[in-house]
Amino acid sequence: MNDMRNGTKRLLELLWHDESPFGFHYTNEKPDGFGPKPGELFSREREAAGQIDWGKAFGNFSCIIGNIWLARKKGKAAWISHQECGCMGGGFYTGLYRPYLETNVHYVATGIVGTPMEGEHYLPSAEAMRAFMDACLPPPPTGKYGVFKPLDLFTDAAPPLVVIFFARPEVLTGLHSLAGYAAGHHQAVVSPFGSACSNMVAWPLAYQAKGIECAVLGGFDPSARKFLKADELTFAAPLSLYRKMLASLETSALTRHTWQGVTKKVARSKRAWGETA
């Protein structure tokens, strides 16, 4: 991990970015950090049997992006498990249970007729939602907990599966350019529909499982915007691509004169948001 730490430090310097990225992995050890309380267990069997108390489930709702927001502020971890889930979508998109729930299908689409669940109307039909969830299904988890934490907290024995940046458009310009240069093809960055957590975990890992190495731009989920800075988006790269990005730094556009012009806008953005002295 020392090479990755040194490479990440150099990348942040070139990007003029102050916040280190987070990583995501699975572990059987509950970390010190922020996560949901024990609550409803989400499963297709319990759903079909009418055993899920939806009032309790929504009453104990805990968004993983909200917990990541706290972890970012404190330099700690955010975590989620099947037993301590907090969100039926978050548990699925972090790979901790499958198959998805039909309630989630209708909730994100047009709601459930005859109930107060009016739906989020993010997709036009249950069929469209099922197609999305089938497409972004990540590989099975390799541990009880799905953990997001600062990259510096990872070890060689337990490296991250995905590396995630939180940044505004000027910095994302550099990451986008570097990903394409490192991957060597023009579809190295994609931005499919999804929740904020699906674009951090499910989509990068689902693409990788299909043999497609690409980073995923996210943070467009209206439900999660309150847990991101103004104008901030996410950029999530599988570890294999991130290593290539670090290896390509010194010959990439980030060390050329055009990028120096962009760094002036990075500085202006920081001043505009009161993030510099």
State the pLDDT at residue 277: 56
What phi-psi label fits residue 232: left (phi over 0), alpha (psi between -120 and 50 degrees) or beta? Answer: beta
What end-to-end distance do the CA atoms of the chain give, in Å?
A: 32
5-26 mean pLDDT: 97
Q: What is the pLDDT of residues 19-31, one digit of tens each?
A: 999 999 999 999 9
Classify 234 as helix, strand or coil.
strand
Q: Where along the chain do its domains lie?
A: 2-21+158-269, 33-135
Query: Does the pLDDT at position 44 exceed 60?
Result: yes
Q: What is the pLDDT of residues 154-187, one digit of tens each?
A: 999 999 999 999 999 999 999 999 999 999 999 9
- Are β-strands 215-218 and 189-190 bridged in parallel, bridged antiparallel, or unpaired? parallel
Q: What is the pLDDT of residues 251-262, one digit of tens each?
A: 999 999 999 999
State the pLDDT at residue 118: 82
Contact 81, 34 (CB under 8 A): no
Q: Rounded to 5 degrees, what are φ and ψ at 129?
A: -70, -40
- What's the mean pLDDT when you consider all of the chain? 95
Side chain identity, residue 44: R
What phi-psi label fits residue 119: left (phi over 0), alpha (psi between -120 and 50 degrees) or beta? Answer: left
Q: Which residues of 121-157 are buried (b: 16+ CB within 10 A; e: fewer)?
A: ebbeebebbbebbeebbbeebeebbbbbbbbebbeee
User: Taken in order 234, 87, 66, 55, is the CA torsion positive or negative?
Assistant: positive
Q: What is the pLDDT of residues 58-97, one digit of tens each?
A: 889 999 999 999 999 999 999 999 999 999 999 999 999 9
- pTM score over 0.75: yes
Q: Helices H, strands E: what count in the chain?
A: 12, 8
How far is the C-alpha of 75 from the C-alpha of 82, rounded, in Å? Answer: 24
Q: What is the pLDDT of residues 111-158, one digit of tens each?
A: 977 666 788 999 999 999 999 999 999 999 999 999 999 999 999 999
Between 275 and 146, whose confidence is greater? 146
Query: Does the pLDDT at position 206 exceed 80?
Result: yes
Contact 103, 88 (CB under 8 A): yes
